[in-house]
Structure 1
Amino acid sequence: MSAATQAFLDMLAAERGAAANTLAAYRRDLAGAEELVGDLAKAPRARIAKLAGEWSALAPSTVARKASALRQFFGFAVDEGWRSDDPSGALPNPRTRRPLPKVLSHGEVEALLERAELEAGSGKPARVRQLALIEMLYGSGLRATELVSLPLSSVPRDAPLITVMGKGGQARMVPLSDRAREALQAWLKVRPREPASRFLFPSRNGKHLSRVRLYQLLKELAVRAGLDPDGISPHVLRHAFATHLLEGGADLRVLQTLLGHADIATTQIYTHVDEARLVSLVNTRHPLAQRRASD
C-alpha cells in the first residue's frame, strides 16, 4: 500500500473516527485497486478508467462500494495537493437497489426467546449469558460489535437507558427493557471474575466475546429452537427490532436515534420492509387472490 493511501486511512481514523471494521474494508478496497493500477495518487485517469473492466464480474453493490472508497480517496488526494485532477468521473457508477433486510416474524422471535429462556433455567453461565445477549439484541437493536464490546460499567443500576458507543465513536442512549434488565442481572450473578476483564461479556483471554462467536451462538440456538440457522444472525435480530417497532407505530426519527443511523435514508429501508409485507398480505389473503389461485 502506498504512503498516500495509508495517510488517507490515518485521516479516516483520526478525523472521522472510523471504526476498525470500516478501516479494514477501505484498506482492502484501496489495496486491491493499487494492485491493478499502481499508486492511486499518481495513476493516470486512463488507467483508473480500466478498473471498470477489471470489476466487470463483480456484483453491482461491490463495484459501488469500491468506487465510493476511491472517490473519497481522490477527493482527499486533491485536497492534499498530491493530484491536480480528480479522476473519479472515470470510475464506474452502477445503479444498485438496496436489498430489503431479512426479518424474523414475531413467532420466530418468540420461539428463539422461549428456547433461550428454557436453557437459561439450567443456571449454566453460558446459557444465562446467551439469554442476556439475545434480549439486548432484539430488545435494544444493538449492532453485534456494540453489544460484545459493552464495558461492565455500562450496566445501569436504576436508569432505564444504557450508553452505547456506535460507529465512528458516536455515543447514544438506548432503552433497556425490563426483560433485558432481568437477564443482565442474572448474568452478572454468574459472570466469571477470572480472568479480570472490564467487559460485560468477557472471553477467556480477558478481552470481550468476539462477533464471530456471537454469530455461532445464535445459529446453534436457532437449530435447537427448530429454526433455519441461515436466517438468524445478530443483524437479523436488529432488523426485527426495527421492523417490529415500526409496525407498532414507532416514529421514524425515533427509530433512527435508537439504531444510531447518521442518515435517516438508512432507516427508511424499514418502511419498505413493511410495505413489502402489506403487499404480500394482500396478494396471499385477499379473496380475489384466492379465487385466482383456485382457477
Structure 2
Amino acid sequence: MKLLADQFLLHLRGQRNFSRNTLKAYQFDLGEFLAYAAANRAGTPAALDRLLMRGYIASVSSRGVSRNTLLRKISAVRSFMGWLLENGRLETDPFDLITIPKKEKRLPRFMTEGEVGKLQDYNRPEEVNAREKNYYFALRDFALFELVYSSGLRRSEASGLNIGDLDLFSGFARVMGKGSAERLVPVGDKALSAIRDYLETRPKPLAHGQPLFLNHRNARLSGAGIALIFKKMARRARFARHVNPHSVRHSFATHLLDNGCDLKSVQEMLGHKNLQTTEIYTHVSLERLKEVYEKAHPRAKK
C-alpha cells in the first residue's frame, strides 16, 4: 500500500501539478490513513471497504479536529481511492453511499486598517533597532510585511520570490502561485521603498536569481520562518489576537473591497481560480457594514 501511495503522490506532482504544500498535506494525511488501515489489517487494496472508511472518519472525528480538517483528510483519501479505481486496483468505490459532512463556512480573520497601522508603527526599523539592539533583521521584516499586505501574497509565494521577480520601477512582482500558476501583482510605493531599504543592506552585487528574503544563514527564508516573523511582529505591537501571513492576506482583500475595488480585480490579485472563493470577502465587508449601521443609526436597534 505504501508503494501505491507513493505512486499516487508522484502522479499528483507530475500530472496534476500540485503545489509543494498541497503535496505535503496529502502525504501526511495518506500516511495517517495507511497507519489506520494497517492497524485494522487492511494492507491491500482489496481490504479497502466501506466499513473501513466509516471507521476512519469516526476515528479522525473523535480527535476533535475541525470539520474543515476532517474534510481535507477525507478528500486526500477519496482522491487516492479514485486513482486506485482508475488504475484497476479497486473494483468498487469504498466511499460509495457514505455521507460526507458539508464544509464549514467561516468568515476570514482579518485586521482593521487601524490595526495594520498599529502593527506597522511598532515594527518600523528605527523603532525596533532602538529597542532591540542585537536584532539585525528589522529592515527585512518590515519589507516582508509591507509586501505581503501590499500585494496579498501567500507565505509560500513570498518565500519563493527572487530579486529578479520584482520590478522596482514599474511596481509589479511576478508570483508563482498554487499549481505553478504565474501571475503579476501590483506592489505599492511604501512596500517598494521598504524593499529598496532592505536590499541596500544586502551584499553586492545582487543577482536576479537570489532569494528576495534571506534568513540568518543567508539562505531562502521559508514559509514557516515568515509565519514566525509575523508572530513576533504581533507581539511587539501587543496584539492579543493571532496574526499570521494568511490573516494579512485576508486583510489585503477585505480592505480593497471596503475601499471600492471590484471583486474580479481582487480575484486576479489573490490568484483565485474560482470567483466564489473570493466572494467570501464580500460577506466580511457586508458584516462590517451592518455593524457600522447598527452602531450609527438611531432606529437600527430594537
Same fold (TM over 0.5): yes
CA contact (8 A) 1:132 1:180 kept: yes
Q: Distance in 1 between matches of 2:73 and 2:128?
A: 47
CA contact (8 A) 2:123 2:236 kept: no
Q: Which runs of 5+ in 1 are unaligned?
A: none
State the 1:102 CA deviation. 0.8
Cα distance, 1:264–1:203 mapped onto 2, change above 3 Å: same
- 1:253 counterpart SS class: helix
CA contact (8 A) 1:120 1:131 kept: no
Q: Which residue of 2 aligns with 1:47?
A: 52
1:211-254 deviations in Å (ceiling 9; x for gaps): 233222222222322332x3311111111100000111111111
Q: Which runs of 5+ in 2 are unaligned?
A: none
- Letter aligned with residue 41 of structure 1: P
Cα distance, 1:150–1:250 mapped onto 2, change above 3 Å: same
Identity %: 33
Is 1:3 the counterpart of 2:3 in the alignment?
Answer: yes
Count the aligned residue pairs.
289
CA contact (8 A) 2:8 2:80 kept: yes
Is 1:70 the counterpart of 2:81 in the alignment?
Answer: no
State the 1:88 CA deviation. 2.2
CA contact (8 A) 2:172 2:186 kept: yes
Cα distance, 1:234–1:27 mapped onto 2, change above 3 Å: same
Cα distance, 1:99–1:40 mapped onto 2, change above 3 Å: farther
Q: Which residue of 2 aligns with 1:203?
A: 215
Is 1:61 the counterpart of 2:68 in the alignment?
Answer: yes
Q: Which residue of 1 aligns with 2:255?
A: 244
Backbone CA RMSD of aligned residues: 2.4
Q: Distance in 1 between matches of 2:143 and 2:108?
A: 24
Which residues in structure 2 correspond to 1:65-144 (within 5 Å)?
A: 65-117=72-124, 119=126, 122=129, 125-144=136-155
Q: TM-score, normalised by structure 2?
A: 0.87
State the 1:33 CA deviation. 1.5
Q: TM-score, normalised by structure 1?
A: 0.89
Which residue of 221, 228, 231 corresponds with 1:219? Answer: 231
Q: Distance in 1 between matches of 2:261 and 2:140?
A: 29
State the 1:118 CA deviation. 5.3
State the 1:150 CA deviation. 0.9
- Letter aligned with residue 24 of structure 2: A
Which residues in structure 2 correspond to 1:275-294 (within 5 Å)?
A: 275-288=286-299
State the 1:265 CA deviation. 1.6
- 1:88 counterpart SS class: coil
Is 1:265 the counterpart of 2:276 in the alignment?
Answer: yes
Which residues in structure 2 correspond to 1:145-224 (within 5 Å)?
A: 145-192=156-203, 198-224=210-236
CA contact (8 A) 2:125 2:138 kept: no
CA contact (8 A) 2:257 2:263 kept: yes
State the 1:181 CA deviation. 1.0
- Letter aligned with residue 5 of structure 2: T
Q: Distance in 2 between matches of 1:31 and 1:221?
A: 35
